[in-house]
Amino acid sequence: MTEESPALGLDMPMQPRDAGYRVLARKYRPQTFAELIGQEAMVRTLGNAIKRDRIAHAFLLTGVRGVGKTSTARLIAKALNCIGPAGNGGPTIDPCNVCEPCISIAEGRHIDVIEMDAASNTSVDNIREIIEAVRYSAVSARYKVYIVDEVHMLSKNAFNALLKTLEEPPPHVKFIFATTEIDKVPVTVLSRCQRFDLRRIPADLLASHFAYVLEQEHVVSEPDALAMIARAAEGSVRDGLSILDQAVAHADMDSGGKVTADQVQGMLGLSDRGALRRLLTHILDGDGKNALAILGEQHALGVDPAGVVRGLLELVHGITVTKVGTTDDPALPAEERAALAEWAGKLGHGTLHRLWQMLLKGHDEVVKAADPREAADMAVLRAVYAATLPDPGELARRIAEGGVAAPAASPTPASTAPADFGALVARLEAGGRYALAQLLHDNAGLVRYAPPELSLRATKPLPVDFARDLTAALKSFDGMIWQVGLADEPASATLLEQENAARLANEEFVKAQPLVAGLLEAFPSAELTGWTLNRSDAA
């Protein structure tokens, strides 16, 4: 059995030729800090600490899955224990990868670098073993390094048992902790560690890295395919490389194994970005028929309905951030960036906000629905209807400027409507809708009366179907379609409050008349009842 020389990016510098295939996520695990993408700030800090001989005794690495926490821990272990090709080197931010400590640490067999999975070693007994072992010096390395992955899984007693050793470890011991859930690590542990937050890797940087990997693997790919994989990875290098591995295996052998956007889209069940843009165009145009047709096409292709709505949310978000002037996402295709810029120039913030809220609610409904396809149809149709409504801010501006004409769609001219709110209540009462008339009279303050628009503020809770029932009742009188809304805005007093105020004002007027005032003064316990008032005759 022969061995080959190490290649750039391999996590096992020496590997037998017949060892079998290794997945890309393992094969291209970084072996130097220079290969660790997207974490420049952490690398700079570690490099300066090593150069100045200010190396902490404990490190805590946190971040989402697949951003390089375990790889970074191994790199730190190599950096601290590297002795260089000549065997006389010291700690360095650029480990040589050829000395015995570097090779054995990369292969996971160095006796002084102990890796422990806290998910399966949670008890205080496991920590006691570490506490007992730290008393002994390293066998062959400069430092004895303990790498504890998913450290948040340790029990409370295990954390407590570790605290004293973690605060004052022997000079030959270094601890490196890694976790995806930093909030579950006790503050007593956090305060004893030098913390590094590993960032999510930007999609454009991931796409560039995947292009490099495929170049090393002699696989041809389309840029759009790599951009899809980078977005699906959600900032995780490992997730992205796993998807890339699958995409290479999925590629059509007849085309030379080329990784194409269409194949990646089908493999991941992603919605076609072009179809999503056409769908959003139909929604904004109020074209429900063609919008449903595109939904049907995507469903026939096996695309998850929730994924379609999620794609629409991404588009609306992209339009919004483009509108406020953020930098274009380089991972997006050029045609999509152009479409976002065009929409951003046409759509107002109010329209985008309303569309976002409706799609967000629709996504929640699709996820929970017994039939996601039907829920997606209804969510899109609701968005179609909302997109055709006038923007409230623009409508208010035009009203203020006197530029809004009477609604042309009203079946009956507004002049046939009741003259005022009181007349409308009277019409309801005359038409036998006593309950509605009573609710309007007693519990509704008027915000706006501009037939066929009626805006009210409830002074007491109204029935859930109040607006719908009132609209139906008013339409039954003359065919006019009213727009009834409840608003939390300043409103006039209810009709009942106005009547009570008028009665009290009249009573005070009567009491102020000389004859009545004299009688009330002579008889202090007397009350004013059963009176009538004719103000024109009052002296």
Residue 175 has what pLDDT?
93
Residue 2 has what pLDDT?
40
Of 125, 176, 111, 110, the closest CA to residue 148 belongs to 176
Q: What separation in angstroms does the CA of 376 have from each of 90, 269, 306, 311?
A: 62, 16, 7, 12
Confidence bin at 336 (pLDDT 50/70/90): confident
Rounded to an integer, the average pLDDT of 243-250 is 87
Q: In which element (H, E) is residue 365 found?
A: helix 349-368
Residue 539 has what pLDDT?
40
The residues near 430 (Cβ < 8 Å, ≥ 6 apart) are: none
Residue 230 has what pLDDT?
87
Q: 210 with 244: CB under 8 angstroms?
A: yes
Is pLDDT of 430 > 90? no
Distance of CA 262 to the CA centre of its chain: 27
| Strands, sheet with 483-486, edge to edge from the N-terminal-most edge strand | 444-450, 453-458, 483-486
Is pLDDT of 257 > 90? no
Please state, in angstroms and rounded to a whole number, the distance separating the CA atoms of residues 441 and 457. 12
Neighbours of 310 (CB within 10 A): 18
Is pLDDT of 212 > 60? yes
Q: What share of the chain is helix, strand, coil (3-state, %, to 5)?
A: 55, 10, 40
Rounded to an integer, the average pLDDT of 105-116 is 89
What letter does residue 325 receive in the DSSP assignment?
Answer: T
Q: What separation in angstroms does the CA of 61 have from each of 17, 94, 513, 538?
A: 34, 19, 87, 89
What angle do the packed helices 203-216 and 237-250 form, to 10 degrees? 50
Please state, in angstroms and rounded to a whole number, the distance separating the CA atoms of residues 222 and 35. 24
- What are the φ/ψ torsions at residue 432 (nearest 5 degrees)? 85, 5
Is pLDDT of 303 > 70? yes
Please state, in angstroms and rounded to a whole number, the distance separating the CA atoms of residues 186 and 494. 58
Q: 340 with 315: CB under 8 angstroms?
A: yes
Residue 18 has what pLDDT?
47
Rounded to an integer, the average pLDDT of 83-108 is 89
Is pLDDT of 447 > 80? yes
Confidence bin at 19 (pLDDT 50/70/90): low
Confidence bin at 254 (pLDDT 50/70/90): low
Please state, in angstroms and rounded to a whole number, the distance separating the CA atoms of residues 61 and 56. 13
Mean pLDDT over the full length of the chain: 82
Q: What separation in angstroms does the CA of 418 have from each of 92, 184, 414, 432?
A: 87, 65, 9, 16
Q: In which element (H, E) is residue 130 found?
A: helix 124-133
Rounded to an integer, the average pLDDT of 392-398 is 57
Q: Euclidean distance between the first and final Cα of the chain, in Å?
A: 125
Please state, in angstroms and rounded to a whole number, the distance separating the CA atoms of residues 382 and 291. 11
Residue 397 has what pLDDT?
58
Residue 417 has what pLDDT?
83
Beta strands in 134-193 (DSSP E): 144-149, 173-179
